[in-house]
């Protein structure tokens, strides 16, 4: 298990150093394969969607198992780098923050579409900043803590299977006429896969944030009101740790969501983006160390 632990740490360092590859990203390649398969498997059916999801996730896990048998350390390091998104997330947040600091709200709104699905066209500076903070919190769990934890528990198969589930949820796990039934299995699988990682992310934000009492209080008091069972704990813990207030009205095209308040601090301002990114960085490092420790102590035949 030493090779697996070392590979997780090496992959984490690669992500911090290189960020996502700009061309030929493996996750994008998986998405193209999934879209091609969908043209053959699609039907307005929960069962067909479950087969579609299970086939792709099983294939990703099998590929990971084969790669890990060839060279555990190298395969783990490369797979970890490929599935993590912490550095790229931080760069996107910093870019939007720079636009806001320069007073270029239209550019900040346009760039925000790289992070969130909500309509940014009418957002104020503070609402753009809130969207960034919420996205950084949620995606630190989804794109950093979760893959690392699954890598610690299940190695390269866990890394690739988790990223397959998460990517499929982003592609088909939507509540709209096309995917309400076909994408249900992907959405449920993503919820299950993130159940433990989201609590680990919230715990790390609580321990590593500047206001532990505030983070724990917001997590306990406010997380259950969020429509997502996994985003709620993370966003609430980040809000409490940073002394800010998240939640409010989000517009997604024709759909409007009124989300409850998370945290009891002041409203988010553009100056909160940088501290949020710093907390996310600490949470990611904590997850890398935790996951490497899990891999190291697991009693399993190499």
Kindly state the helix (H) or strand (E) to which residue 248 belongs, with its residue range. Answer: strand 244-252
261-277: per-residue pLDDT in tens?
Answer: 999 999 999 999 999 99
Which domain covers residue 49, as residue numbers? 2-297
pLDDT tens for each residue of 23-82: 778 888 999 999 999 999 999 999 999 999 999 999 999 999 999 999 999 999 999 999
Within a domain: 182: yes
Q: What is the number of domains present in the chain? A: 1
Distance in angstroms (rounded) separating the CA atoms of residues 269 and 216 = 22
Query: Is 302 a domain residue?
Result: no
Is 197 within 8 Å of 149 (Cβ atoms)? yes
Furthest-apart CA pair in the chain: how many Å?
57
Instruction: In whole angstroms, give the CA distance from residue 139 to residue 128.
Output: 16
What pTM does this model have?
0.94
Asked whether residue 168 is assigned to any structural domain, the reply reads: yes
Helical residues (DSSP H) of the chain, grouped into ranges:
2-18, 26-41, 46-70, 72-83, 86-101, 105-112, 125-140, 146-172, 184-193, 195-208, 212-222, 231-242, 273-297
In a domain, 222, yes or no: yes
Q: Is the model's pLDDT at 299 over the cut of 70?
A: no
The two three-digit tokens of residue 300, written as one number: 């399993």
Asked, for residue 193, whether it belongs to a domain, the answer is yes
Q: Give domain status of residue 64, yes or no.
A: yes
């Amino acid at each position: 298990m030493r090779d697996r632990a070392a590979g997780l740490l090496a992959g984490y360092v690669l992500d911090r150093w290189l960020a996502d590859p700009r061309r030929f990203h493996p996750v994008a390649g998986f998405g193209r394969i999934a879209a091609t398969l969908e043209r053959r498997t699609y039907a307005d059916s929960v069962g067909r969607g479950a087969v579609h999801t299970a086939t792709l996730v099983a294939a990703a896990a099998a590929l990971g198992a084969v790669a890990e048998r060839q060279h555990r350390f190298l395969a783990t390091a490369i797979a970890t780098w490929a599935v993590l998104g912490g550095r790229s997330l931080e760069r996107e947040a910093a870019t939007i923050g720079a636009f806001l600091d320069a007073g270029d709200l239209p550019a900040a709104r346009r760039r925000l579409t790289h992070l969130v699905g909500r309509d940014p066209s009418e957002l104020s500076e503070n609402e753009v900043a809130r969207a960034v903070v919420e996205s950084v919190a949620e995606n630190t769990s989804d794109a950093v803590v979760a893959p690392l934890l699954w890598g610690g528990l299940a190695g390269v198969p866990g890394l690739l299977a988790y990223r397959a589930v998460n990517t499929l949820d982003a592609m088909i796990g939507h509540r709209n006429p096309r995917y309400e039934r076909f994408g249900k299995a992907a959405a449920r699988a993503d919820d299950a896969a993130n159940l433990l990682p989201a609590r680990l992310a919230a715990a790390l934000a609580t321990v590593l944030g500047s206001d532990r009492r505030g983070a724990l209080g917001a997590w306990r008091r406010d997380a259950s009101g969020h429509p997502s069972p996994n985003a709620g704990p993370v966003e609430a813990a980040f809000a409490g740790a940073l002394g800010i207030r998240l939640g409010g009205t989000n517009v997604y095209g024709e759909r409007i969501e009124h989300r409850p308040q998370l945290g009891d601090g002041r409203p988010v301002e553009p100056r909160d983006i940088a501290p949020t990114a710093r907390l996310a960085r600490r949470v990611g490092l904590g997850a890398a160390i935790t996951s490497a420790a899990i891999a190291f102590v697991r009693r399993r035949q190499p």
